[in-house]
Amino acid sequence: MEMQLTLSPAADALTVTLAGELDSLSAPKLYDQLSQTLKQHPAIKKITFDCQNLSYISSAGAGILLLSLDNFGHRGVDFELRHVRPEVYNILDLLGLTKVMSVSND
């Protein structure tokens, strides 16, 4: 299933709604859209990824999240993954992302 991506910027926050699969084909699109949105909205200090409809994440998808955290975290941007399904959480945990960013199923 192809990933669907919606970015909703507000004053100092950005909500990114992910649906489908975040894999090697869709990960660059996510990074490009994050970069573009943060350039257009430099006041953003928090990015919340709504993962309720994210059914799968590959190591490439997780890598893009880490790259984003590394590149945008230096600007003081916090990252949070919410509504993470158990099967996606297990992959994130296995790859160590649960230790470097907030990940929850609520």
Is residue 75 predicted with pLDDT exceeding 90? no
Model confidence over 3-15: pLDDT tens digits? 999 999 999 999 9
User: Domain range for residue 56?
Assistant: 4-103
For residue 106, the model assigns a pLDDT of 81
Tokens, residue 58? 């590959």
**Number of domains comprising the chain:** 1
How far is it, in rounded angstroms, from Cα 105 to Cα 36? 28
Higher pLDDT, 13 or 2: 13
The enclosing domain of 85 has a CATH number of 3.30.750.24
Q: How far apart are CA 33 and CA 36, in angstroms?
A: 5
User: Span 27-46, mean pLDDT?
Assistant: 95
- The pLDDT score that the predictor gives to residue 24 is 94
Task: Write the pLDDT tens digit of every residue in 45-63.
Answer: 999 999 999 999 999 999 9
How many C-beta neighbours within 10 Å does residue 29 have? 13
